[in-house]
Amino acid sequence: MLSPDRDLTARGRLRVFAVWQLPTLLFAAYLAAGLALTAPHLLQRPLSVMAFAAVAAASVAAVAVPWERIGLAWRVLVPAIDLAGAVVLRLDLAEVRSIGLLSVLPIMWLAFDFGRRGVALAVLGGCAQSVVPLVSSATGPNDGLAWVQASLFPIMAVVLAVVARRLSMIIGRNHQALLDSNAAVRASLDLARQRLVVVEKVMSVVEAGVCYLDDTGEPLLTNARALELAQLAGRHPDHLPEEARFAGHHVYSDDHLTLVPAAEQIIPCARRGEEVDGRLHRYGPPGDQRAVVVSCHQLYDGPVRLGAVAAAWDVTDLIEAVEVRDRFLATVSHELRTPLTSIIGHHDLLADADAIVEDPLLARSLASARRNAHVLMSRIEELLEGSRTKAAQPMLDGVPVDLSDVLAEAVGRHRRPAANAGIVLRPDLTDVTDPAAAQVWAPADAGRLGRALDQLLGNALKYTDPGGAVTVTLHREDHRDGSGTAVLSVSDTGRGMTPAEVRRAFDRFYRADGARASAIQGIGLGLSIARSLVEAHGGEIELSSTPGRGTVAVIRLPLPAPQHT
């Protein structure tokens, strides 16, 4: 900007001189040189000499005086002196008609840089350029044409002053807008820089490996943990071909042996725009592997994709702790079952002894011991069942069975316990074998599915008070492609569960506070075992419950579409 309130340095002083004062100085020098060559006698006039000297002095002052220190408003003296010199020359050298051009730049400078005061001085100087010489002449204005000619320059001065002032205001507003925009951009950059620092600090302290990829799939932010896991996975971007530089050659599935293809690893999935949630991989060569849970999510701003975030958590310690617990439970259960089997066997032998039969007290004590031994054996069986991992329960290729039969057998096994507890078990499914009854056939292992139903029915009876009811239903949901879903439901009118208890109901060894407070027997494995058995059939199990109103457990099993030959 050329405005004086912007020129606060010596360099700004030189710029103002080069734009405004130097052309005026050069024009005055050219005029003086021309007069010296063509009419030297005109340069001998004192007023003309003083005028040229004033322009020269103003030029020196424009460069030498530190206006930014004493006040930029005082620099108005420079164009004012130039304009006064031009008026004097116009008065003293009236015969040189073009001499009025010397005042053009001072007029524009005054109007451009010095506000209303400058405009007033510019207009005053422009009027003086024509009116003063006209009035001061010996003959005076002798006709109207002379007045018309004399008024042209003042009018031009006014127009120049107004145009220059208008341009100054426009440029000033644009400059201010530019400054505001620049300040906003700087503020945004500072904020973005601060947030980047925060993000980098957060990424550096989290335990997970985190990598942010832009919309082209190139990593922009990667924390140290992610680099460590990438190195463990055997990723060498400098040596692998382009299509595999984001994958590792030591990434295995959960079985520790099967290599995960490069296209299915987390970073390539993130680059393709896929979503991955909680996939378990093994990083490292066999024998020295870490269990890593990987996820990736795409980032969008409305319809615009911003990139993706990939994260990896080393869960080796957690998985090893679970495996140690399971091995411990399995070992303890096996070690307990062997002597307990022997105890039960000897109890059976003792029960037939004549001395026991003849002594009612001994018979009752032995029966109580044998009953509790069987309870303990059932708990050990539950521990053994619960300690089996999901890998030990592969997807079953069951033979077609009538699910109504499986359900009827499970209900039959629990009818007597229900009656003893004063609970109504309905419906009575003894007539499902009737040819008119609806049947639901599904590929299943009847024994394992029956055990899952036993767990659900046992829980329902255990947590329902006398006088309550347990309802069992079975129906089929058909799909458009001919396949279907078998829906088995066990509902009770028991004490129910809170939402927090429902969320943890399938956790192994979890027991609700109410169950512990009521001293209801159990070790918290029933629902976990049931889910494992149902998932082995390719199905799913879910709970819904309301405190004080009961619980509904629903098993959904897929039914394949009939094969057409």
- Could you tell me which of 3, 29, 113, 12 has the C-alpha nearest to residue 63? 12
Final residue in a domain of this structure, among 339, 363, 387: 387
Same domain, 339 and 353: yes
Same domain, 381 and 404: no
Give residue 434's pLDDT band: very low, low, confident or very high (50, 70, 90).
very low
Instruction: Flag whether pLDDT at 132 surpasses 70.
Output: no
CA–CA distances in Å: residue 472 to residues 453, 490, 502: 10, 5, 20
- How far is it, in rounded angstroms, from Cα 146 to Cα 87? 18
Instruction: Flag whether pLDDT at 147 surpasses 70.
Output: no
Is residue 435 in a domain?
A: yes
Same domain, 99 and 135: yes
Q: Where are the alpha helices (DSSP H) in 206-263?
A: 224-232
What pLDDT score does 432 carry? 44
Please answer whether residues 210 and 203 qualify as being in contact, where contact means their C-beta atoms are separated by less than 8 angstroms.
yes
Q: What is the CA radius of gyration of the chain?
A: 50
Instruction: Flag whether pLDDT at 10 surpasses 50.
Output: yes
Is residue 4 in a domain?
A: no
Q: How many structural domains comprise the chain? A: 4
Pairing of strands 304-314, 290-301: antiparallel
- Cross-strand bridge partners of residue 313: 293
CATH number at residue 265: 3.30.450.20
Same domain, 140 and 158: yes
Percent of the chain predicted with pLDDT > 70 = 82
Rounded mean pLDDT, 503-515: 76
Tokens of 155: 């009018």
Q: What is the mean pLDDT of the chain?
A: 80
Q: Cβ atoms within 10 A of the Cβ of 154, count?
A: 18
Final residue in a domain of this structure, among 314, 331, 347: 314
- Most trustworthy range by pLDDT among 107-116, 278-287, 361-370: 278-287
Please answer whether residues 461 and 423 qualify as being in contact, where contact means their C-beta atoms are separated by less than 8 angstroms.
yes
Give residue 431's pLDDT band: very low, low, confident or very high (50, 70, 90).
very low
Which structural domain, as residue segments, surrounds residue 251? 209-314
Instruction: Flag whether pLDDT at 507 surpasses 60.
Output: yes
Is residue 169 in a domain?
A: yes
What pLDDT score does 177 carry? 87
Three-point CA angle 505, 395, 266, nearest 5°: 80
Same domain, 466 and 543: yes
What pLDDT score does 514 carry? 64
Please answer whether residues 310 and 273 qualify as being in contact, where contact means their C-beta atoms are separated by less than 8 angstroms.
no
Instruction: Flag whether pLDDT at 146 surpasses 60.
Output: no
Is residue 345 in a domain?
A: yes
139 by Cβ neighbours in 10 Å (0-12 / 13-18 / 19+) ranks as exposed
Is residue 193 in a domain?
A: no
103 by Cβ neighbours in 10 Å (0-12 / 13-18 / 19+) ranks as buried
- How far is it, in rounded angstroms, from Cα 280 to Cα 294? 6
Give residue 430's pLDDT band: very low, low, confident or very high (50, 70, 90).
very low
Same domain, 309 and 337: no
- How far is it, in rounded angstroms, from Cα 55 to Cα 523? 106
Same domain, 138 and 221: no
- The phi and psi torsions of 79 (rounded to 5 degrees) equal -65, -30
What pLDDT score does 118 carry? 82
Final residue in a domain of this structure, among 332, 363, 387: 387
Q: What is the pLDDT of residues 36-76, one digit of tens each?
A: 888 888 878 888 889 889 989 998 988 888 887 888 788 88
Is residue 194 in a domain?
A: no
Is residue 17 in a domain?
A: yes
Is residue 75 in a domain?
A: yes
Q: Cβ atoms within 10 A of the Cβ of 180, count?
A: 10
Rounded mean pLDDT, 139-159: 64
Same domain, 351 and 482: no
* Element containing residue 378 per DSSP (H, E): helix 360-387
Same domain, 261 and 324: no
Same domain, 481 and 529: yes
What pLDDT score does 297 carry? 93
Instruction: Flag whether pLDDT at 235 surpasses 80.
Output: no
Q: What is the pLDDT of residues 151-166, one digit of tens each?
A: 667 777 777 778 877 8
Rounded mean pLDDT, 468-485: 87
CA–CA distances in Å: residue 288 to residues 247, 282, 403, 496: 19, 10, 46, 46
Of 20-24, 169-173, 192-196, the poorest mean pLDDT is in: 169-173
Residue with tokens 């004062």: 21
Same domain, 45 and 152: yes
Give residue 463's pLDDT band: very low, low, confident or very high (50, 70, 90).
confident
Of 158-167, 324-333, 476-485, 516-525, the poorest mean pLDDT is in: 516-525
Tell which wins on pLDDT, 424 or 135: 424
Pairing of strands 469-478, 424-426: parallel
Same domain, 309 and 325: no
Q: What is the pLDDT of residues 77-104, one digit of tens each?
A: 988 898 888 888 887 887 776 777 788 8
What pLDDT score does 393 carry? 53
Instruction: Flag whether pLDDT at 224 surpasses 80.
Output: yes
Confidence (pTM):
0.51
Give residue 360's pLDDT band: very low, low, confident or very high (50, 70, 90).
confident
Rounded mean pLDDT, 222-227: 89
557's CB contacts (< 8 A; 6+ apart) are 403, 442, 444, 485, 486, 488, 534, 537, 538, 539
